[in-house]
């Protein structure tokens, strides 16, 4: 699987994304600088990493969504390429319109970093097939704006279309997200945005190794 990681000014999980991809796919991803970088032809997966692109100034993800590289990202998605946006990456995907809804400030108003139990809502997706038979996983979360919001009609739509990939375990919603949503898919199922960090749960550290499944699923899909 050929992958690429977009690097915005203020991205800070780009190296984590790089290492997780290199480890699982056996091939280092292309690191694409937002200003003048190019997503290499033939890229299967583009990751939009976490961090504080443009310092989260104005609104999380809003400035990054207008960065030069985003045109290529949108084209990649429109071609049916896979896109994985994590944390700030999820916020950016919502700002670009590749995913519906928005991420608001956590209901607690505090940044929250903790191990988070998630339920796998569907294993019939390119990002979660490896979790067949695994109802729950634990990924680290670390965000200030993870409170997913969309209109009721939109929520009904993504729910009925099976586009909710991950939910926070019942009673453990860390940020007030509507319907406990932790990660959602695009209509074609090839764009996933999620607040939790699977790339920080690839083994050998405090995050555990439950996140490997996301990358293994993509390996078999792409």
User: Rounded distance, CA 195 to CA 181, Å?
Assistant: 9
Q: Which of 195, 196, 199, 201 is nearest to 94 (CA)?
A: 195
- 160 Cβ contact list (under 8 Å, min separation 6): none
89 contributes a contact to other proteins by CB under 8 A: no
Q: Is 16 in the site for other proteins (CB under 8 A)?
A: yes
18 counts as catalytic: no
**Nearer Cβ to other proteins (37/72):** 37
Q: Residue 202, interface with other proteins (CB under 8 A)?
A: yes
Q: Which of 5, 13, 155, 158 binds other proteins (CB under 8 A)?
A: 13
110 binds other proteins (CB under 8 A): yes
Indicate which single residue of 74, 112, 178, 222 sits in contact with other proteins (rule: CB under 8 A): 112
114 contacts other proteins (rule: CB under 8 A): yes
Quick count: other Cβ atoms within 10 Å of Cβ 126?
A: 22
Pick the catalytic residue from 76, 87, 95, 143. 87
Question: Looking up tokens 């200003």, which residue turns up?
Answer: 35
Angle (CA) 210 159 118, round 5°: 20
Residue (62 or 74) nearer to other proteins, CB: 62
The answer to whether 93 and 46 are in contact (CB under 8 A) is no
Q: List, in sequence order, every residue forming a beta bridge with 142; answer none if it has no partner.
A: 113
Size of the residue set binding other proteins (CB under 8 A)? 34
Residues that bind other proteins (CB under 8 A): 9-10, 12-13, 15-16, 19-20, 33, 35, 50-52, 54-57, 110-115, 140, 142, 144, 197, 199-200, 202, 204-207
């Amino acid at each position: 699987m050929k992958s690429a990681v977009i690097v915005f000014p203020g991205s800070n999980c780009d190296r984590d994304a790089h290492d997780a991809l290199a480890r699982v796919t056996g091939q280092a991803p292309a690191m694409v600088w937002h200003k003048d970088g190019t997503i290499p032809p033939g890229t299967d997966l583009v990751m939009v990493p976490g961090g504080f692109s443009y310092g989260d100034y104005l609104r999380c993800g809003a400035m990054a969504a207008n960065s030069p590289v985003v045109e290529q990202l949108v084209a990649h998605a429109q071609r049916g390429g896979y896109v994985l946006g994590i944390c700030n990456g999820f916020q950016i995907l919502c700002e670009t319109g590749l995913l519906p809804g928005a991420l608001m400030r956590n209901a607690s108003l505090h940044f929250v970093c903790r191990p988070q139990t998630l339920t796998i809502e569907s294993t019939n997706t390119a990002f979660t097939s490896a979790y067949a038979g695994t109802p729950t996983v634990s990924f680290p979360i670390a965000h200030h704006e993870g409170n997913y919001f969309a209109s009721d009609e939109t929520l009904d739509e993504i729910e009925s279309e099976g586009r909710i990939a991950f939910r926070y375990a019942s009673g453990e919603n860390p940020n007030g997200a509507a319907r406990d949503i932790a990660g959602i898919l695009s209509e074609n199922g090839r764009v996933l945005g999620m607040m939790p960090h699977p790339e920080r749960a690839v083994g050998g550290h405090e995050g555990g190794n439950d996140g490997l499944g996301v990358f293994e699923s993509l390996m078999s899909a792409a």
